[in-house]
Structure 1
Amino acid sequence: MSAVANVEMYLKTTCPYCIRAEALLRGKGITAVTYNLDAGGPKREEMIERAGRMTVPQIFIDGRHVGGCDDLFALEREGRLDQLLAA
């Protein structure tokens, strides 16, 4: 069995970009560790500190910030996402 990258995603449950990003990952058999920011709080501050951005989603693969939904789909279009997801 091949190893899979650790994927973390900061999201809000009603965010359409978060839903799209999560669906793309799920389609690749990846279940991201998610941090729900619906209520803000310390995880929101952590996301801003780690990503340098205030919008959701913010996605990390093996601790490396890859950006938001558009960035994730760009990696997919460029054929680079699968490589990042394979640990």
Structure 2
Amino acid sequence: MPNVTIYTTMMCPYCFRAKKLLTQKGVKFDEIDVGTDPGLRREMTTRSNGGQTVPQIFIGKRHVGGCDELFALEARGELDAALQAA
């Protein structure tokens, strides 16, 4: 299973939703809180090609996007395959 990284802030309801979906699927993920660290926020923005909102979600090297994009993958039945890709 590829490494999953999610950039978050502490009080973000979309971050909670995305983390809940990943947790329900049994996915372990690295969470990076960008709320108080400008350097981490710049890293997130650079890595996501300009994405400034949270969450920003990565499956391996693939930038999924935010919570809506994660749930769209799930709705299309593509999330499990993305999580299993090597």
TM-score, length-normalised on structure 1? 0.92
One-letter amino acid of the counterpart of residue 21, structure 1: A
CA deviation profile, 1:17-41 (whole Å, cap 9, x unmatched): 0000000000000121010012032
One-letter amino acid of the counterpart of residue 23, structure 1: K
The 1-side partners of 2:4 and 2:61 are apart by: 8
Instruction: Tell me, yes or no, if structure 1 residue 56 matches structure 2 residue 54.
Output: yes
Partner of 2:26: 29
The 1-side partners of 2:39 and 2:28 are apart by: 23
The answer on whether the counterparts of 2:7 and 2:56 sit within 8 Å (CA) in structure 1 is: yes
Partner of 1:15: 12
* Equivalent of residue 69 in structure 1, options 40, 62, 67: 67
Across the two proteins, how many residue pairs are aligned to each other?
84
Identity of aligned residues (%): 50
Q: Which runs of 5+ in 1 are unaligned?
A: none
Partner of 2:78: 80
TM superposition outliers: structure 1 runs of 4+ over 2 Å: none
What is the RMSD of the two structures over their aligned residues, measured on CA atoms?
A: 0.8
